[in-house]
A and B are shown apart, each in its own frame.
Chain A
Amino acid sequence: MALILTEEEQLLKSSVSELFKSKAPIAALRKLRDNKDPLGYSKSLWKEMANMGLAGLTIPEAYGGMGFSYVGLGQVMEACGRTLVASPLVSTTLLSATAIQLGGNENQKSKYLPNISDGSMIVAIAIDEGRHHHPDNCNTTITDGKITGEKTMVLDGHIADKIIVSVKNSVGDIQLVVVDAKSDGVAVEKIEMMDSRNLANIRFPNVVVENILDSYSGSYNLLENVLDIGRIGLAAEMLGGIQEAFSRTIAYLKERTQFGVPIGSFQALQHRAADMFGEIELCKSVVMKALKAIDENSQDLPKMSSLAKAKLGETYKRVSNEGIQMFGGIGMTDDEEIGFFLKRARVVQHTLGDTNYHLDRLAKMKSY
């Protein structure tokens, strides 16, 4: 498949960009932060996104979704990245809906997916248990339909209606189970993050399971498959943030004068900018290729996902650092928005594995 967007995907991209520009600019995130908004996202925006079909974008039409490609979801993620939209799209649509689609049986899909599609149900996914991403380190256990354990870094954990939890069963396999967030014992501790979004640590002391997602028929394992798709979606979001931060930086280089000339005429800055331009060209390619790999059900998905997450993490770090540096003093102020990209860059690159995690994974795939 050619590495370009279809007309439909192109159209989707421009309409969501318009929506976010008017309804969810960075100012909206700033407001949520300054108001210490208990939800951390705008309900009305999420409603509007759901009405546009975004909440169920990749969910089949039979379950109330749009049946759109992941390349399409990638375009939405990219647009979110540009204005740093805080919404349940990552937790609910990208990760949880994907998990249910891949691992759920008919009943389970009918139970959850239509509610996700219409925006009425928020689902979080709880997989990590420490400070760093290590999905294999799973000590949460399941016995007699009840789970016990502690999960960390759960995106949107404090607002979720349902939580998908990774657990180790009696034979040592990792499974994904669905828990109702209101079940007895579920203890949610919300954590404010640097990027003004929320993560939660959640305790599950002998909590009743609602469903086990045990109908996966893919080629590796459900959790890794879901994570790989999630990583690629996050990489698409990062691509949006990188491009936005970069174009703001370039605009500033043209606008700010010192020594009687625009600072963009200084070669020391030009070369760093030109070098970043090249890295961003690479980012665009790997994200596109990885999104296509999801839609094509490619054998290379793990590799593509790690390539994308590693490269985008590295580049977002660089571009967000250079953004601050090239803005000078004003870049350090809270009034100037460039700092928001630095903060998001660090949190998103940490989420589902940072650059080093994925480089290590790539090396292991090639046995070195």
Chain B
Amino acid sequence: MEKTTSKKDLKAFRKETREWLDANCPASMREPIAGPEDVYWGGRNSEFKTPDFKIWFEKMHEKRWIAPHWEKKYGGGGLDRMEYKILTEEMTKLGCRKPLFSFGLSMLGPALLKFANEEQKIKYLNDIVDAKIRWGQGYSEPGAGSDLANVQTKAEDKGDHYLVNGQKVWTSYGEKADMIFCLVRTDTEVPKHHGISFLLIDMATEGASTRPIKLISGKSPFCETFYDNVKVPKENLIGTPGQGWDIAKYLLTHERQMIGGIGETHVPTPVSDVAKKYLEVKDGMLTDNFLRSEIAKFEMDEAIFDMTIERVIDEAKAGNNSGALSSFFKYYGTELNKRRYELFVACQGLDGLAWEGEQFKNGAIAKQFCRTKGNSIEGGTSEIQLNIISKRILGLPSR
């Protein structure tokens, strides 16, 4: 049974939360995030970019609000859904950043909570909350992108360990990851979906290596990852052999919600504010009529998408669970974000296209613009989400 807090206690909780956040969140931690280098990721070689990052992480850690909704024995804060919603709302209002960005929190954690044994949960979840381990995701391979169940990286059962051989690709921050959760093939005799297992691999093990890939945004945040006779202890298997596909899919629903922007505390700059700053305005109206109507349409969809997140959460609380909706959120949220950056660039003109130079923040907008194009690819492409909606929600037949 989930604990629930009474209305009156919630009111008090909101007030205390706001006061605590306001008193403890450093000003610089309320500034918009400038990019993936501008957050704290944790891990064995982690560094705090500025002292404020450290203060904020430590305060929130002490308050047990790194994973506010996980059980206390796993390092969480034990908040119920309503309290968690309130905390997120208050952080959003004050513009507080998340103290820790981690694939452990947003992706692996939920999967462990559902599929891992107690010993694994205690160990790995606490390490995630304590920011001891930085995690990477080893799903995609050169021959297994959208067709993810086609993974070929092999893990042979050698009695006390698995022997892993193969290659992963597009591993985000692979070179920085301490450990990678991997989909590996443990059985080649059964249909492809049934021969996959979910394995945690320590990248410090002999035979594991990475090679960076440069992106259109000019950065190299992801890698090819190689496994050459890597020995992985048996206890690093999550669930049972052959259960990997179920775990992978479950984890993907969480990844999709994250990419779709669910639970985000950072409110993006309104496009119309950027437009007013960079473009000509006459009689309170943008003189570029075409752009004006595009912006109005975008802001309409943006506002209503937020209402939809709110409605679906409210419905879920009332017991109407709408399962496959994570595909819709992933699809809509990422397409929306791409539209947002198209408009930022359109509004800023030269400033939005410059790639280098102090006065252009070293091309931050142009680079983020390029990066958003990956939103509708990573975590399952837009087309794959539409396939899932067609089949699982609308019940349309397969060929």
Contact = CB atoms under 8 A, between A and B. Distances in A.
Interface string B246-286: 00000000000000000000000010100110000100111
Contacts of A364: 284-285
Contacts of A264: 396-397
A3 B304 contact: no
A273 B285 contact: no
A65 to B, nearest CB: 28
A362 interface: yes
A356 interface: yes
Interface in A252-289: 253-254, 261-262, 264-267, 270-271, 273-275, 277-278, 281-286, 288-289
Contacts of B399: 261, 265-266
B307 A359 contact: no
A129 to B, nearest CB: 24
A35 B399 CA distance: 46
A193 B276 CA distance: 42
Contacts of A265: 396-399
Contacts of B275: 368
A14 to B, nearest CB: 15
A270 B308 contact: no
A278 B328 CA distance: 6
A363 B397 CA distance: 42
Contact of B300 (A3, A278, A285, A311): A311
Contact of A277 (B311, B328, B383): B328
B3 interface: no
B291 to A, nearest CB: 10
A368 to B, nearest CB: 5
Interface residues of A, number: 39
A307 B281 contact: no
A254 B396 contact: yes
Contacts of B304: 282-283, 285-286, 307, 311
Contacts of A186: none
Interface string A347-368: 0000000001001101110111
The residue among A282, A362, A363, A368 with the most chain B CB atoms within 10 A of its own CB is A368
Interface string A323-367: 000000000000000000000000000000000100110111011
Interface in A227-258: 250, 253-254
A368 B300 contact: no
Contacts of B295: 363, 368
B390 A273 contact: yes
B304 to A, nearest CB: 5
Contact of B397 (A254, A307, A362): A254
B303 interface: yes
Interface string B308-321: 10111011011010
Given A275-B386, A368-B275, A368-B276, A2 B394 contact: no
B305 interface: yes
A363 B394 contact: no
Given A261-B399, A310-B300, A363-B296, A271 B386 contact: yes
B310 A3 contact: yes
B10 interface: no
Given A250-B394, A254-B397, A359-B296, A278 B389 contact: yes
Contact of A282 (B285, B286, B296, B308): B308
Nearest to B395: A254
B297 interface: yes
The residue among B325, B394, B399 with the most chain A CB atoms within 10 A of its own CB is B394
A366 B328 CA distance: 29
Contact of A2 (B284, B305, B318, B386): B318
A328 B337 CA distance: 34
Contacts of B300: 307, 310-311, 359, 362
B175 interface: no
B292 interface: yes
Contacts of A367: 276, 281, 284
B397 A261 contact: yes
Nearest to A282: B304
Interface string B378-394: 00000101110111011
A194 interface: no
A366 B320 CA distance: 35
Given A311-B304, A368-B276, A368-B281, A3 B314 contact: yes
Contact of B311 (A288, A356, A362): A288
A127 B112 CA distance: 61
A359 B296 CA distance: 6
Interface in A1-20: 2-4
B303 A307 contact: yes
A274 B296 CA distance: 24
B386 A274 contact: yes
B299 interface: yes
Nearest to B399: A265
A286 B307 contact: yes
Contacts of B398: 265
Given A2-B317, A265-B399, A362-B299, A274 B390 contact: yes
6 A-B pairs with the lowest CB-CB distances in the bound complex, closest first: A270-B390, A274-B389, A285-B307, A285-B308, A3-B311, A274-B386
Given A277-B394, A307-B303, A363-B293, 12 more contacts: A250-B396, A270-B386, A270-B387, A273-B390, A274-B331, A282-B305, A283-B304, A289-B310, A362-B296, A368-B284, A368-B292, A368-B295
29 contacts: A4-B318, A250-B395, A250-B396, A261-B397, A262-B397, A266-B399, A267-B390, A270-B387, A270-B390, A270-B396, A274-B385, A274-B393, A275-B386, A277-B394, A278-B328, A281-B312, A283-B304, A285-B310, A289-B307, A307-B303, A307-B304, A310-B300, A359-B300, A360-B296, A362-B296, A364-B285, A367-B276, A368-B281, A368-B295
